[in-house]
């Protein structure tokens, strides 16, 4: 992760935000497509560029010195404790929004998602933007810098490939190296504590449920029907354009044989090919680390690389199911869901 921020580029990007324009910037999770969170027309440009549904909320990023109380009301002590433990970092908190914060960033809900990223370039941008605001409370609405539902970008070049028109029209893309975490932030709902609803994990991420529970001293709940909508929680999301299929490790060789007639295959697996399975011009076998943090770090970059190589299908060995892999399984599962492939009966193919 780059530790340097070019002051001239940061100043220009902050000026673009002030003018209601878009800016792409790095965070420790993925690159974001940002706009002034309090400018509805600017936020609308995010939705238009991404093709994002208008009722799908976006996360507001604030500088380390930012006042959470400006954006949210009745900030509970649980939120303060989690901020102390994990901010700056990859944790988004859903809180009751302040009355003066509009619908543009909340998808029409009475809650708001807030995060303070740790990447130095993101912090430099957020500080410069806030300093330029009359009240010093600038926030940048920033979902991932990709078209809606597609693989999130973890490098600046991914953003440029995703938004060539916007880049050609002058949208700044701040460089920050490869994202350190590689998948989106954990999202925790604390907006209903006053109603007796405990903390609810809306999206798993680098900050685990166990870590949150260690701070709060209470169990983290699973999403319920009344939970607020949040970024990246649709059933199908994070998908490459090449059909992606999750396959149990014990069935991997069988799946390769069954899909061979479909065209060129790419296999993402923890183990080497089984006996009788030979990589060739029509079969690429990609070995991946059996460590969830390193797997997550390279996941999106790997999917983008495979997506660009013209494969007919990507087969991904299903990761372990223990809690350490929750965030990875969430992203891979949603990517596979985008293609509605039935892998339960390989013998029928």
Has residue 236 got a pLDDT over 90?
A: no
Task: Enumerate the known binding-site residues for L-threonine.
Answer: 29, 61, 115, 142, 185
Spell out the domains of the chain, with CATH numbers in brackets: 7-216 (3.90.870.10), 244-338 (3.40.50)
* Pair 201, 220: CB distance under 8 Å: yes
User: Is 39:134 a contact under the CB 8 Å cutoff?
Assistant: no
Known binding-site residue numbers for ATP:
52, 144, 152, 203, 238
pLDDT at 2 over 90: no
* pLDDT reported for residue 99: 95
Write out the two tokens for 203: 């999206």
Whole-angstrom CA distances from 172 to 33, 102, 126, 160 are: 10, 26, 15, 10
Average pLDDT over all residues of the chain: 93
pLDDT above 50 (res 342): no
3-14 residue pLDDT tens? 578 999 999 999
Separation of alpha carbons 58 and 231, rounded Å: 6
pLDDT given at position 3: 53
CA distances from 132 to 17, 45, 189 (A): 10, 21, 30
- What confidence tens digit (pLDDT) does each residue in 288-321 have? 999 999 999 999 999 999 999 999 999 999 999 9
Q: What φ, ψ does residue 187 adopt, rounded to 5°?
A: -120, 125
Binding site: residue ranges? 29, 52, 61, 115, 142, 144, 152, 185, 203, 238
Look at residue 55 in the predicted model and tell me its pLDDT: 86
SS (H, E, C) the chain: CCCCCCHHHHHHHHHHHHCCCCEEECCCCCCEEEEECCCHHHHHHHHHHHCCCCCCCCEEECCCCCCHHHHECCCCHHHHHHHHHHCCCCEEEEEEECCCCCHHHCCCCCEEEEECCCCHHHHHHHHHHHHHCCCCCCCEECCECCCCCECCCCCHHHHHHHCHHHHHCCCCECCCCCCCCCCCCEEEECCCHHHCCCCEEEECCCCCHHHHHHHHCCCCECCCCCCCCCCCCCCCCCECCCCEEEECHHHHHHHHHHHHHHCCEEEEECCCCCCCCCCECCEEEEECCCCHHHHHHHHHHHHHHHHCCCCCEEEEECCCCCHHHHHHHHHHHHHHHCCCCCCCCHHHC
Cα gap 317→43, rounded to integer Å = 38
Mean pLDDT of 245-253: 94
Q: Which two tokens stand for residue 185?
A: 């932030």
- In this prediction, residue 168 has a pLDDT band, given cuts at 50, 70 and 90, of very high
Average pLDDT of the residues in 27-56: 95
Q: Rounded CA gap, 89 and 74, in Å?
A: 22
Q: CA-to-CA distance for 95 and 74, rounded, in angstroms?
A: 8
64 CB-near residues (< 8 Å, 6+ apart): 87, 88, 116, 123
Q: Do 288 and 268 form a contact (C-beta atoms < 8 A)? A: yes
Instruction: Tell me what the mean pLDDT of segment 95-110 comes to.
Output: 95
Q: What is the pTM of this model?
A: 0.94
248 contact partners, CB below 8 Å, separation of at least 6: 317, 318
Distances (CA, A) of 309 to 84, 247, 303: 44, 21, 10
């Amino acid at each position: 992760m780059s530790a340097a921020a070019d002051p001239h580029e940061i100043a220009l990007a902050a000026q673009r935000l002030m003018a209601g324009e878009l800016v792409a910037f790095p965070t420790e999770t993925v690159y974001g497509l940002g706009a002034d969170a309090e400018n509805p027309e600017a936020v609308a440009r995010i939705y238009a560029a991404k093709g994002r549904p208008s009722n799908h909320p976006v996360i507001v990023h604030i500088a380390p010195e930012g006042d959470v109380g400006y954006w949210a009301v009745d900030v509970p002590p649980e939120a303060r404790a989690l901020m102390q433990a994990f901010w700056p970092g990859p944790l988004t908190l859903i809180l009751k929004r302040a009355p003066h914060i509009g619908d543009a960033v909340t998808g029409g809900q009475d809650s708001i998602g807030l995060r303070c990223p740790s990447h130095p370039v993101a912090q430099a941008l957020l500080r410069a933007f806030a300093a330029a605001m009359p009240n010093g409370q600038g926030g940048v609405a920033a979902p991932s810098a990709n078209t809606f539902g597609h693989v999130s970008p973890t490098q600046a070049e991914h953003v440029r490939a995703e938004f060539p028109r916007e880049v050609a029209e002058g949208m700044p893309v701040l460089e920050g190296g490869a994202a350190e975490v590689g998948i989106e932030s954990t999202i925790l709902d604390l907006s209903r504590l006053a109603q007796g609803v405990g903390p609810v994990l809306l999206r798993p991420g680098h900050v685990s449920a166990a870590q949150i529970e260690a701070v709060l001293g209470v169990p983290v709940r699973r999403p319920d029907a009344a939970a607020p909508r949040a970024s990246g929680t649709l059933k199908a999301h994070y998908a490459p354009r090449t059909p992606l299929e999750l396959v149990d490790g014990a069935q991997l060789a069988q799946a390769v044989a069954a899909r061979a007639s479909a065209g060129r295959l790419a296999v993402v697996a923890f183990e080497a090919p089984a006996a009788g399975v030979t990589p060739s011009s029509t079969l690429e076998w990609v070995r991946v680390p059996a460590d969830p943090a390193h797997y997550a770090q390279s996941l999106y970059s790997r999917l983008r690389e495979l997506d660009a190589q013209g494969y007919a299908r990507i087969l991904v060995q299903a990761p372990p199911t223990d809690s350490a892999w929750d965030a990875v399984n969430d992203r891979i599962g949603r990517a596979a869901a985008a293609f509605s492939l039935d892998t339960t009966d390989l013998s029928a193919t």
